[in-house]
Every structure is written in C-alpha cells, then in structure tokens.
C-alpha cells in the first residue's frame, strides 16, 4: 500500500472556488463524522464514478474520506460545490450539522492489480484497506455503511455480478463486482426464504456443483442456529479468476467471491457464507480482533458441515489439523491492543488466526458441549449484529452463559507462542 505521494501544488490545493451561494467551510478532517450510506454509480468502461456518501451528523465542521487511488473531479452538497482538498485523504469543507449530509463526489478511478482495488481482469478486491482505490470510503473494520451500486457500460457478452443494494451496515471492503462469462445455477431456497446460487465460468459446472452440494443445508444451519441473514434474500458463490495458486475466497456478501481453483471446495464455500454472521454481520472493532472473524468462521464451517454432511465435516477437520501443523507458533493470533496493528504488515494475516482460532472454539465445544457453544454464538450475534465487537467480548459471554472460564484455553490457543496440539481445553 502506498503511504507516500508527491503532488504539484495545484493538485494539492483546494478545488476551484465554489459559487458565491455555496458553503465556504475550509476543508478539514473530522474523525467523528462516519459514513452512514454509500451510493455508487460506476461507468466501467469510462472508469468514472459518482459516489453519494452520506455522512453522519457532527457538532464539528469538516470530514475526511480515503481516496488514495482516485482523481476527484468535483464535490457538491445539495447541488452546490464545496471546498475540498484532494490527496490520499480527501478533506471536505462541511459545516457542522445535526442532520446526515449527502455529499456527491464525481471522480475517475484506475485499475489496481495485486488485490488492491479494481482489476483489469474484471473483479474487485480491496480488503483490508484499499477501498479508496475504488470509491471514497472509511476502511476501518469497525465502520459500517449501507450500499447501493449501479455498474454501467460493462463489456458486451459478459455478466456483471454484484448486489444492487447491501441493506445492512457493512464494512467498506464488502462491496464488490465480478465481470465474466457467467452461468447462474440456483441451488435452492432455505426455509427462511434465502435463495442460494452459484455463478460459474465456462468449464466449471462440475466443480461448482461439487463445491456447493451442501451449501443450502449449511446456510440453513447458519440461519436457524445463529439468526437471520442480514444482507438480502439472495446469496451466492461467484467463481472469480484470480490466477494460478490463488486458492480461497473473499466475504463480499451477498455474492461472495471464490477463487476459480477453489470453487469445487466445500469448506471454502461454507467458510465464506459464514462471514455473513461473523466478519460482515458482526464487524471487527480493531484489526487485532481478526480471529473473531476468521477463527470463528473457520470453526463454523467445520461445525456446519459436521451437522449437515458428517463425512465432509470430518475431512474438513482433518485438513485443519494438517494446516495447524504448518502454523508458526510465533505468528500472532490475538494481539492485546486496539488500533496499533496493521493486519498485513504486522503479519496477522496468516493461517494462525484461522486454525488456532478454530481449535480454540473446538476446545470450548469439547468442554461445554457443541450445542451450548452454538447458543453462545447465537447470543453473541443477537447482541452485536450490525455493529462491531472484540474477541474479549466473546470470552466474557462464554463464561457468562456456560459457567466455564475460557481464559486458560484462550491463553493456550490464542496467546502462547508455543503451538499446541488439538486437545481439550484445561
């Protein structure tokens, strides 16, 4: 990620003077002014966008948005230009207001490869903090916004798969599109009314059917066990050509992206679906709580498949055991800070939070019972869905609901540098 940029004086100064009737508030940052809603109209071929970003009320003036990879053309409020300072951080000259303020930002964007924005290959991936290469945003994982997206002028003969709306508060990295020669296969509808689909590319039908053969049942288990799905009546897996060796997926709910070489893997498909509850449905308060997303979801994928397809579930846990053996004990799992860790640069994005987190939960399940742990996870979702939470909150709820103190188990699996072997918690 680029953290240093050079610019000409003219490019770093305020925009041209607004009309006399427009507000003259100087551009300044205001960290208390969060994003409530983000509406995007994207001209794909023209590589332009119009973002209507609704910012929350504030008793202080100003606001800031990440826009590192964008060229800002204009910024208006109620049709009138306002002062702004472009750059890696877009500073806005907003007056204080006790009401939400829709800000309309017209801009140009460019392709960014290496999973840092919109790829020329037709997909987006901006996790964890590259949303500013696609649209003006706040990338902090605790921040949530609803979304609407209109993607125009896409290549002829290709299908653009994206949600027209994301109706519940979501992290900025959740919104995405994928453009390719897709076929949609509807797999079924859960008892709660969620249609489950898979989108596959030419030659991938057999793999897509294999990888999603228990997806409806697993999604039903998640809905019936944890609580209602928040991101609309249609969910699906989308095969995306990330390239050789790129095995895995990304939680772009409601249409998650699965690397094309992983579309036939059931664990990956169920893992990404479970992010609708943890990681997306409940956001992280800090990147240090990464295990609350990935460790919880890894456990839930194994747990759901244990219930709906026991043979597959057994294979998943065997694979987890093998992956655990390759984890370095010194890789961090749950840093004891908040806001001090870069999830990528500080090496938190490894298999350690995924696998050590999964076996932490499995150890708890072996101690108190899997069904009772299900109830804890459901209560946690009920308490925090639509907001952010910390891993410490999970430990507190486990003790409150089960009477078992998970501190020693957490120390073994999430904190100690000595890698344990799968075994019941103390």
> Is residue 269 domain-shared with residue 288, that is, in the same domain?
no
Q: Do 211 and 245 lie in a common domain?
A: yes
For the cut 60, the answer to whether the pLDDT of residue 304 exceeds it is yes
What would the pLDDT profile of 105-138 be if each residue is shown by its tens digit?
Answer: 999 999 999 999 999 999 999 999 999 999 999 9
pLDDT in tens, 321-330: 999 999 999 9
Q: Find out whether 82 and 62 touch, Cβ atoms under 8 Å.
A: no
Q: Domain check: are 264 and 322 in the same one?
A: no
How confident is the model at residue 246, as a pLDDT?
87
Q: Is a pLDDT exceeding 60 seen at residue 4? A: no
Q: Which pair of structure tokens corresponds to residue 339?
A: 């806001």
Query: Same structural domain for residues 33 and 144?
Result: yes
Among candidate residues 115, 141, 175, the one where a domain is terminated: 175
In a domain? residue 6: no
Please identify which residue in the block is written with the tokens 């000595």.
418
Here the CATH number for the domain that contains residue 212 is 3.30.2010.30
> Kindly report the CA angle at 381 between 298 and 65, in degrees rounded to 5?
85
Q: What is the predicted pLDDT for the residue at 3?
A: 28
Instruction: Give me the DSSP letters along 280-321.
Output: SSSEESSGGGHHHHHHHHHHHHHHHHHHH-HHHHHHHHHHHH
List CB contacts of 71: < 8 A, sequence separation 6 or more: 86, 107, 108, 109
H or E element: which one contains 396? helix 391-402
Residue 23: the pLDDT is: 52
Could you give the number of structural domains in the chain?
Answer: 3
Residue-wise pLDDT for 230-275, tens only, equals 999 999 999 999 988 889 999 999 999 999 999 999 999 999 999 9
Task: Give which of 168, 375, 197, 130 is closest to 280, Cα–Cα.
Answer: 168
Q: Judge whether residue 38 has pLDDT over 50.
A: yes
The pLDDT value given to residue 244: 86
Q: Are residues 195 and 302 in the same domain?
A: no
Segments forming the whole domain that contains residue 241: 183-274
Same domain (yes/no): 199, 310: no
> Is the predicted pLDDT of residue 13 greater than 60, yes or no?
no
Last residue within a domain, chosen from 274, 309, 335: 274
135-152 pLDDT, tens digit per residue, is 999 999 999 999 999 999
Q: Which residues is 37 bridged to in the sheet? A: 54, 146
Are both 23 and 153 inside the same structural domain? Answer: yes
Per residue in 368-423, pLDDT (tens digit) is 999 999 999 999 999 999 999 999 999 999 999 999 999 999 999 999 998 888 87
Answer whether residue 277 shows pLDDT above 70: yes
pTM to 2 decimal places: 0.93
73-106 per-position pLDDT tens digit: 999 999 999 999 999 999 999 999 999 999 999 9
pLDDT digits (tens, 9 = 90+) for 160-174: 999 999 999 999 999
CATH code of the domain in which 147 resides: 2.60.40.1730
Pair (340, 378) in one structural domain: yes
């Amino acid at each position: 990620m680029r953290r240093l940029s050079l610019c000409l004086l003219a490019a770093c100064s305020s925009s041209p003077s607004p009309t006399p009737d427009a507000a003259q508030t100087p551009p300044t940052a205001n960290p208390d002014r969060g994003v409530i809603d983000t509406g995007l109209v994207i001209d794909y071929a023209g590589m332009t966008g119009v973002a209507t970003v609704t910012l929350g009320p504030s008793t202080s003036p100003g606001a800031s948005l990440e826009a590192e990879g964008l060229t800002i053309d204009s910024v208006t409020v109620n049709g009138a230009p306002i002062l702004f300072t472009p750059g890696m951080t877009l500073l806005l000259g907003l007056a204080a207001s006790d009401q939400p303020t829709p800000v309309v930002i017209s801009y140009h964007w460019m392709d960014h490869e290496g999973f840092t924005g919109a790829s020329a290959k037709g997909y987006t991936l901006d996790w964890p903090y590259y949303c500013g290469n696609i649209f003006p945003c706040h990338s902090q994982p605790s921040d949530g916004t609803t979304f609407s997206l209109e993607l125009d002028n896409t290549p002829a003969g290709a299908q653009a798969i994206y949600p027209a709306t994301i109706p519940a508060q979501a992290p900025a990295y959740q919104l995405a599109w994928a453009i390719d020669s897709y076929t949609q296969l509807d797999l079924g509808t859960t008892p709660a009314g969620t249609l489950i689909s898979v989108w596959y590319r030419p030659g991938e039908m057999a793999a897509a059917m294999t990888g999603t053969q228990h997806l409806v049942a697993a999604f039903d288990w998640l809905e019936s066990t944890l609580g209602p799905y928040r991101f609309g009546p249609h969910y699906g897996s989308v095969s995306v050509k990330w390239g050789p060796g790129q095995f895995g997926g990304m939680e772009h709910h409601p249409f998650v992206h699965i690397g094309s070489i992983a579309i036939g893997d059931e664990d990956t498909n169920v893992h990404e679906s479970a992010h609708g509850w943890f990681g997306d449905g409940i956001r992280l308060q800090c990147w240090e709580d990464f295990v609350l997303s990935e460790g919880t979801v890894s456990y839930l994928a194994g747990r759901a498949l244990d219930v709906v397809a026991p043979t597959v579930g057994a294979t998943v846990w065997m694979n987890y055991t093998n992956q655990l053996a390759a984890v370095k004990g010194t890789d961090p799992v749950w840093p004891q800070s908040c806001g001090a860790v870069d999830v990528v640069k500080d090496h938190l994005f490894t298999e350690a939070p995924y696998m050590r987190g999964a076996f932490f939960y499995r150890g708890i399940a072996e101690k108190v019972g899997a069904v009772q742990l299900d109830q804890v996870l459901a209560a946690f979702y009920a308490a925090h869905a639509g907001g952010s939470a910390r891993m410490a909150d999970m430990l507190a709820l486990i003790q409150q609901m089960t009477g078992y103190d998970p501190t020693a188990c957490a120390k073994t699996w999430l904190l100690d540098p000595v890698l344990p072997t799968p075994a019941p918690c103390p």
